Structures are given as C-alpha cells and as structure tokens.
Structure 1
Amino acid sequence: MGKQTLHLPLFETKEAKGKTIYKLFASTIFVGILLIWLYRLINMPSKGESGRLAWICMFLAEICFGFYWIITQSVRWNVIYTYPYKNRLSLRYEENLPDVDIFVCTADPIMEPPTMVINTILSVMPYNYPTQKLSIYLSDDGGSQYTFYALLEASQFSKYWIPFCKRFNVEPRSPAAYFQHDASNLNDKVFAQEWFNIKKLYEDMKSRIEASIENGSIPNEIKAQHKGFSEWNTKVTKQDHHSIVQILIDGRDHNMVDMDGNRLPTLVYMSREKKPNLPHNFKAGSMNSLIRVSSQISNAPIILNLDCDMYSNDPDAIRESLCFFMDENQGHKVAYVQYPQRYNNATKNDIYGNIARVTHEIELAGLGGYGAALYCGTGCLHRRESLCGRKFSEDQTFEWNNKLQEKSTYKTVEELEEASKVVANCSYEEGTQWGKQMGLLYGFPVEDIITGLTIQCRGWKSIYYKPSKPAFLGVAPTILDVALVQHKRWSEGMLQIFISKYCPFIYGHGKIKLGAQMGYCIYLLWAPLSVPTLTYVLVTSLSLLHGIPLFPEVNQLT
C-alpha cells in the first residue's frame, strides 16, 4: 500500500451538474411569481365590487405557493452527491473494522408476517463483512411466539444460507427475493444442485412456520428444542407481557459455526415489557430498548436500523457506509448515514408516488449538502454515541475496538439475557433522559425526523448517500387507503414538529444552517400546504360558475 493511498479520502462529495443553468431557470420562475403577485395587487377589485373576496383568496393562496417554492430552492440550489471508496477502506482498516449492531423492528405478526421478517434478517446475516463483528437484533413489539419460532428456524437455516451466498456471491440475499429467479438459467451443475438444495430447505422452513400459524399452535416437539418458548404462557398478550430476551446465536462461541466452519453472527430476539397503563412510545420506544439491550450484549459503535419489510439488497452496504464514518478528515463529524427508501413492488405508473423521484434524487441530496440529511427511520447507519445523546466536539476521539464485548466474554448467555431484560422493562426509563436527550425522542408520530434534527443541533453532521444500486428494498403501499393513512400520519406528525419548540427556525437557530432549516420545512409544511391548494381549486371552480374573471384575457397579454 503506497503512501499516496494512505492520504486519499475514503469518500468525496460532488456538486450536481447543471447547477448554474438551474439557478438561471429558477430566477425566471421567481420573476414570474413576483409578476403574478403584482398582477393581483394592481387588478384587485375595489371594495364593494363583485369578486373581491375571490381575488383576495387567490392572492393569499398564491403568496403561500410562492413562499413554499422559495423554501424548496434552499435544497435545489445545493444538491450534493457523495461517493465512498470501499477499496481504500479495506486497504487501511480491514483488520480493525468496527463491530456493527443491526436492529430490525416488527410490531404485528398479522400485518408483518414472520416469514417476511426473517427474510429481512436473513438478508443482513450474509453481509460481506466479518461475521464475528455482526450482531442482529429483532425487536418484536407484538410479543408473538410465532415470530420467535420463525427466528429460531432462521437461525438454523442461516448455517446453510450464509455459506451459499458467500460461496457463489448470490444477490439479493433475501431468500424470498432471490428464489423468485427462474431456475432454468442455472447452467453450472454444481451451483444448480446447491440452488435446489437450499431452495428446498427454505421452502420447508417456510411451510413449517406457516403451518404453525395456520394451526394456531407450535408443536410440542419444536417447543422442546429451545428454552425460549417457556417465556410464553396464558398471561402473555400483545399489550401486556414481561421482557423477553433470547440469544439464539451466541457469536462469541467459536463452536457456533455454519456448514463451512465459519463463525456465525450473533442473533438476538427481544420483546420489551409492555403494560396497558404505561405508554410504550411506539417505534421510538422499541428502538431505545434495542439500544440498551444491545449495549449489554455487543455494544457495537455502529448501528444499522431497518424496518422488517426492508431487506438488504447490497452485501457491501456496511463497508460503503463505514467510509463516511472512518474518513480521517471528516469522519469524526458524521452521526449517521441515510440511504433513500426504495421499493421492489412499486406499481408501473407509481400512482401513489412511492418512488418520489424528486424527493430522493434532489431534495434529500440538497439537505445532505448542508450536513443535515433527514433521518428517515430505516436504512440508516448511526454512530451509537451520537444516537445516545453525546454532543459533538472537535477534539473528541473514537475507539472502534469494542471493549465491552471483551468483558461480556466472561458472562454466560443466561447472565446476558437477564441483564438485558432489566433494561427492557417499562420501569427502566422512569426518571431518565431516554426519549428526551437520549435515543429517539418521544411524543411525535415521526420520531425519526425529530431525532435527526436534535442530533444535528448537537453539532453532528449527517450524510445522504444514494448509491446507483439500491442498498435496501422495501414494500410500498399499493392500496389507496393504506397510502392515505401513511401520508396522513407523516403530514400530521411533521406539522406537529413545526408548531412545537422543535420548529427548525427556532430550535435550529444558530445550530444548523438556514438552508437546512428551510429544507426541513419543505416536509414539515406538507399538511398546511393543503389549505391554499384546496382554496385554489374551489375558488377557481366557483368563480367560473359565477362568471368572475380571475386571470387576464388573451387580448390583455398582447
């Protein structure tokens, strides 16, 4: 490795092409907006004339549209793309790569079937990364023994799936997504035989899980295979149960190996305690419990969090992300790296706007240009310390070696499980800063957005990384009512942030750049923007019916 390579950055940023041309174009739009406002003022009907109220409503709506357009320019004038160099990372730090904890959250075994959940789990277990440095945690807020059983089955199947993926470099590494491929293209006899064997193992596992769910019970001979099933009794319900933590694969154990004799990643099932009379704070509460439980077991300095319906599509995603954290010049400033949300089931015409091309390719990249990339709740890698409330300081140093895991080597699995159950109890957070200054914030339906904002206001930078190959693929709503409920939740939650003390113009004043404050408001003002939109639609229609002119006639423009 040459000296020149040692000094090259692990990532670089580049401005989007056509920036100057776009600014000229935007300037003409701004002039047009000013002329529209001027036209309304000059031609406003006098007091007592018919149509005056309609003109006032139109003028107010157009002012709202104009100011919202100005806000959007804060990110469209500053589009920045990032490019990591994973080969340089390997050359410098291959022997000192940090441990990574992967959090997967599920809440309902009906809406989120266990077979879908374990496909996400199985997609991250074969990452192109040292398996002894990976720990995967599943948070099951539904407290379902069927989800636990599915994870137990996945732990056994992973002994075959991980070596198969790495031996043949197969992609994607979600079994369900991978086995959708047509088997008629398998020409290599050795690979074809392996393909059919692994597929049969997967189909058998899937059948056993689905049969148990359909029958409404798990066979006693299966329950006898693992002590974890004893956690479920007649008193356990979705909204009322004790803490359950089960280490299904202990990554410290050199005897826990796959079929090729290689170490397996740690695999943990967690269902935090729930009580009907105590708030559970939804996904934020689940994530905070995961942070604490993982601190007892692996305590990795880097955390990847995923929704259970968003599987990993790129086995090198972790390595690429670490380029941002471990860069010698800028890495110490980075709190998290956010990937765009991509879907494998978007409809042909994308009638529900799931692809959101402008948002993902322009606006979020523009916010990233200010070092203020949005935290979107999934597909995000965090620095544990920043997520736990630490403020940024230029003179701070970071240790990538995990000293706590060395200490935990002397603890038994049972001791780790018992210690973890304590921090997953409802009472643990009482009188603490969890949900306020530590972990994800409570009290907002969009806990991810507000958490990202508070992290940035503590001095950290965040990066938006959009690779050419999607790092994660999820399931988008394909039914109108589901899409409406989702957008309603987002809009209401973000408006709640805007009218709270966390309004970016107030909370972020002097802490993040003005462009970032404006960029946040593009999304925080989604809900109130519906008012001028509805006004514009109704006023123009009613004015047409009553013969009230609102726009200049053609002969007035010539």
Structure 2
Amino acid sequence: MTELRWIPYFTPRSQSDYVRHHPKKLPDEYKQLSSKIEDVVRKSINPSDIIEGDFSAFSNVQRNNHPTIIKVVWENKEAHSNRSVPHLVYLSREKRPKHPHHAKAGAMNVLTRVSGLMTNAPYMLNVDCDMFANSQNIILHAMCMLLGSKNENENAFVQYPQVFYDGLKDDPFGNQMTVLWKYVGQGISGIQGPFYSGTGCVHRRKVIYGLSPNYVKVGETNAESMKHGKSADEELLNVFGKEFTKSAADALNGKAVCPDMLTETIEAAYQVAGVGYEYGTHWGKKVGWMYGSTTEDVLTGLSIHNKGWRSIIYAPNPPAFLGCAPTGGPAAMTQQKRWATGLLEILLSKNFPIFGTLFANLQFRQCLAYFWILSWGLRSVPELCYAALPAYSIITNSHFLPKGQEPAYYIPIAVFLIYNMYTLSEYLRTSLSIRAWWNNQRMGRITTMSAWLFGLLGVILKLLGISETVFEVTRKDQSTSSDEGTEDTEAGKFTFDRSPVFVPPTAMLFMQLTALATALLRLQPPARDGVGSGSLETMCSVLLVVCLLPFLKGLFGSGKYGIPLSTIFKSAGLALLFYTLCY
C-alpha cells in the first residue's frame, strides 16, 4: 500500500509463500503503518512529519463525523497489459451525526457509485476486509459462469463459500458453518441458487442497478415511464441521481465506458460519496444494496431473486477466499445476535418472501428456503420453553414424556437417536470430527436461547417504536499460536463479558441444576395423578446441563473465562423466580 515492497502481498501469488520467505517483515511493516495512522488520528504528531501529504486528510477527523476522503494510491496506466497492477483507490465516505449512514449497505452503495464513475466495470467483487484471495483464478472461474448468451439473462452473481484460515480445531464456537454451506448451500442451488452472504461474491453490476432478466435497454422508454410521462433520462435521474445518470445508463446497456485518467472523475466521486446524495433517489430502496436490515446481504439477495434472477455457488479447491472467524463467546454472540436481528427485520416487513412468490418472480421452494433462514430468531421462544419443560416437570413431579412401562416410551428415544445419527453422518461426510459435531450441537442450544432471543427482543422493540436496531460490528481476533504453529492452549475456551446475552443460558443452567438437586434430595411434591417425573425428563435435564457445560465452568472461572458476578446474580434471581412459580 505504501511502497512497492507491499505489492507481492496483493498480487496473485501464494500468501503463505511470501510470509514464509518474509516471516517478520510483513507484520512489522503493517504494525508501523497502523501506528502511523493511529498517531495522526490521535493528533499526537504533525501529519507532515510522517509522510508528506499522505495522511493529512486523516487529521482532525472523527470516526462518525468527517468529510469524504478519496486517495488514488495507484493508477493503472497500462490497462492492456496482463502484468499490470489494477487501480488501487482508498475511499472513506462522508459521515455526519444527523445523517443515517446505513452501515455496510451504505458503504457498499458509495463504493458502487465511485467505482461506477472511475471504471464502470460490468462485474464487481465484494470481499470483506478480514478476507483475502487464496487463488489467482477467482475472477476467471466466476466469468465462466456469468458470461454467455444464456447466463447473461439468468445468473446474477456467483457466491463462494466462506472458509476460514484461522478456524479453531473442531469449531468450538459453531460459527464456521461448513456443513451448512455444503448441504443447504448446494441444496438450494437447484432452485434459484444460494443466498448472498455479504462477502466472497462476484456481482453483475447491472443487476445491482435493479435490472430484471427480461430487461429492455435504458435508451428505450419502458412502459412504466410512459405511464408517468417520463423520458428515460428523467427516470434515470430520479433513480440514480444527477451525477450518476450517464454511468448508470452505460452499465445498464452493457457499455463499460471509463475515463482515460482517474483524476477526471475525482470531483464527481466526491459528490456521489456525500451524505446527501441519496436523498430523492432510489438507492437502498430499488437499486444498490438494500436498506432496512442489519443483514443487508440477505435482503439484497432476496430482492435479486424476487426479480427472477438465479445465483450460483462455486466451491473450488483450494478455497477461493479465506477469512477469520470470531473467537470467544462475546464475539460469537454479537455476530449471531446481529444475524437474528437482521433476518427478523426482513421477515416482519414488506420484504416477507411469500410476497415475492405471490407478486414477483421468487419460486415457492426458494421462498421456503428464505423462510427457513429468516425465522432463526423465532426459534428462541419455543427453544426456551422446551428447555424449561424438563426442569418444570422434575420440580413439580409431573411428566410430559411417556413412562418406562408404556410402549410409547421408545418413540422419543428413537427420534432422538435417528436425528443425531443423521446430523453426525453429515459432519463425518464433510470430513469433520465427532467433536466438531458436538460443538455445533451444543452451540446451537446456547445461541438460540441467548443471541437469537435478544435479536427477537430487539426487533420487537423496534416494531413498537421504543428503540432502533444497531449494527454491531463483530470483533474478529486472530487465534494466537506459538512459533511452532501449534494453537494456544487457551484457544477455544468459552469467554464471557457483562453482556446481558449470557443471562438466559446461565439462568437455564441454574434451573436444571436446581431441578436435578430437587430430584436427588427427594424434595419433589407428591405426584398429582400418581405418576411423577421419570427417566426421560431427567435425561433431558442432564443433556441440557452437558450442553451448558461452558457456563458451568464459567461459574468457577476467573477473568474473561469466568461469568461476571452481576450476570450470576441476575441469573440466580430468574432461576429462583422460576422455582417459586412452579409451586
């Protein structure tokens, strides 16, 4: 980024080879660059004392209150050379406290407009900042699926599965989603294609601009415009804004017209990156990345599928992109809470998938696939009820499952064994371990009754007008390792903080322990119908305690590995209230 010696890191060559030959140089230079930028932001030194002109734009700025910053780091003047380095442009959009910035969706729309003015390339690669390319043939692979007379009016984007280079062994936090990508992702590829997951995706620009598969060229006035007496130019002006009209028309008509010099577009780029540019346009509503959800990726993909477009999942070997997964309880819970919140925002809005099936071009089976993922947060309520049921049955000496002497006793046991054997086979067929399967089953229980529950509560508060949902950025710390490449002994241990998201699972653990202690000490009241709780209720309670084992260890841990006292007191109070209400 700063000097030519950084170029091998960005060019299509193996990153591991470069790091192996330069084991200390790359991290040291990155730390020096980060330190310089942080020093300027803190105003501790004069920007001109570091590198003249490079960092002056970053002085006297605040994170959420600063003008647009555009830096042409590298301009490719050898466009027809196969060995040339592409344009490298730094962009920081304008942010003001009184103007909504729409989080990642707003950032993606600004990047789309600025790139449209500078290059107007017909395809766009979307990669998160914590991911890097792992193969030099990524774009070529995507072009094979997007180019061609049939594909031009059929396939909107190519989605690569998310793979993590620093993924902990056996996926202790259940967030690597290997099985989900293999079975769900490839399963729905037979309908209209996979969901857009927000990174590792090659988009067709004209699709992002709102074009349908059965489009007409923008130079012709479409039927809807004629009804309102508008010309094509007026329609483009209303949809995209003044400075972007020509660029949008060229992209929609398949013309990749770009200026000879990037400097010719800088002034217009500052205009389209301003906070007020989108007012009066359709950005975030009908074109670009969609607003209205903290999971803007799923919402944008849904709007594309609603138009009748298909998408493609492609999982090359080696993986196309590698990223880093959240490590630690708070980071994993933050990510899951944001997902549950955003998905429920889509489900409980005008973007409900069934509307796309009834009034647009979303296939019914694709609608069911979207409903499955959008309803994740709703599962928290029945999950909590079912989790509390064994404890309630033991404390009150009642039962909700068949007794040992009944023929139906073996039905729930058979269902439990068949389900778990099937899910285990999925993990084994994906070359994952039994421990990875168990970690994902365990985290499925923890996540549902904690992060997803708070996501549901957040959406309810938003619908009632009490508060707004907040886009929470997931902290992704790289897992530490020793010089020999072995993982840190503490890696994978569950960590905690003072977030209320840890209260429900801790309270559930107290409830199950209280119920088991009640049964063990024979403190149960007499059974009302002569038949009290049985072995199945006890096994359910024990299973929940095993699932919540990280929280049991957290009760006796210290530091970040221990549950804070405030969380313990709140959870104990809820458990005591539950025990009282049982009588």
- Cα distance in structure 2, aligned partners of 1:372 and 1:214: 42
Q: 1:550 aligns with which of 386, 400, 406?
A: 400
Q: Output aligned runs, 1:171-320, within 5 Å.
A: 171=14, 173=15, 177-181=16-20, 195=21, 202=26, 205-213=29-37, 215=39, 217=45, 220=48, 222-224=50-52, 227-234=53-60, 236-252=61-77, 262-320=83-141
Give the superposed CA RMSD.
Answer: 2.8
Deviation at 1:311, TM superposition (A): 0.8
SS of residue in 2 equivalent to 1:270? strand
Residues 501-510 or 275-284, more deviating: 501-510
Q: Do structure 1's residue 528 and structure 2's residue 352 form an aligned pair? A: no
Task: Percent identity, please.
Answer: 33
Deviation at 1:157, TM superposition (A): 2.9
SS of residue in 2 equivalent to 1:287? helix
- Matched-pair contact (CA < 8 Å) for 2:47–2:59: no
SS of residue in 1 equivalent to 2:89? strand
Q: Do structure 1's residue 423 and structure 2's residue 272 form an aligned pair? A: yes
SS of residue in 1 equivalent to 2:257? helix
Q: 1:415 to 1:461 in 2, by over 3 A?
A: same
- Matched-pair contact (CA < 8 Å) for 1:326–1:332: no
Number of the residue aligned with 2:549: none
Deviation at 1:530, TM superposition (A): 1.3
- TM-score of the superposition, structure 2-length normalised? 0.59
- Matched-pair contact (CA < 8 Å) for 1:246–1:417: no
SS of residue in 1 equivalent to 2:276? helix
Q: 1:520 to 1:217 in 2, by over 3 A?
A: farther
Q: 1:399 to 1:243 in 2, by over 3 A?
A: closer
Residues 458-467 or 517-526, more deviating: 458-467
5+ residue gaps, structure 1, are 1-150, 182-194
Number of the residue aligned with 2:173: 352
- Cα distance in structure 2, aligned partners of 1:217 and 1:326: 51
Deviation at 1:239, TM superposition (A): 1.1
Counterpart AA for 1:520: Y
Q: 1:407-434: CA deviations, max 9, x gaps? A: x11xx44332122111101111110000
Deviation at 1:499, TM superposition (A): 1.0
Q: 1:157-199: CA deviations, max 9, x gaps? A: 344556xx66xxx42x3xxx54554xxxxxxxxxxxxx45xx6
Q: 1:304-323: CA deviations, max 9, x gaps? A: 01110011111111111111
- Cα distance in structure 2, aligned partners of 1:498 and 1:551: 33
Counterpart AA for 1:297: M
- Cα distance in structure 2, aligned partners of 1:276 and 1:502: 28
> Which structure ranks higher in relative contact order (CA pairs < 8 Å, sequence separation ≥ 6)?
1
- Cα distance in structure 2, aligned partners of 1:449 and 1:280: 19
- Cα distance in structure 2, aligned partners of 1:239 and 1:179: 36
Number of the residue aligned with 2:302: 453
SS of residue in 2 equivalent to 1:342? coil
5+ residue gaps, structure 2, are 219-250, 409-583
Q: Output aligned runs, 1:371-450, within 5 Å.
A: 371-393=192-214, 403-405=256-258, 408-409=259-260, 412-450=261-299
- Cα distance in structure 2, aligned partners of 1:218 and 1:326: 50
Q: 1:284 to 1:203 in 2, by over 3 A?
A: closer
Q: Output aligned runs, 1:149-168, within 5 Å.
A: 151=1, 153=2, 156-159=4-7, 161=9
- Matched-pair contact (CA < 8 Å) for 1:368–1:462: yes
Counterpart AA for 1:241: H
SS of residue in 1 equivalent to 2:326? coil
- Cα distance in structure 1, aligned partners of 2:374 and 2:322: 25
- TM-score of the superposition, structure 1-length normalised? 0.62
Q: 1:530 to 1:222 in 2, by over 3 A?
A: same
Q: 1:545 to 1:201 in 2, by over 3 A?
A: closer
Aligned residue pairs total 371
Q: 1:470 to 1:159 in 2, by over 3 A?
A: closer
- Matched-pair contact (CA < 8 Å) for 1:313–1:473: yes
Number of the residue aligned with 1:146: none
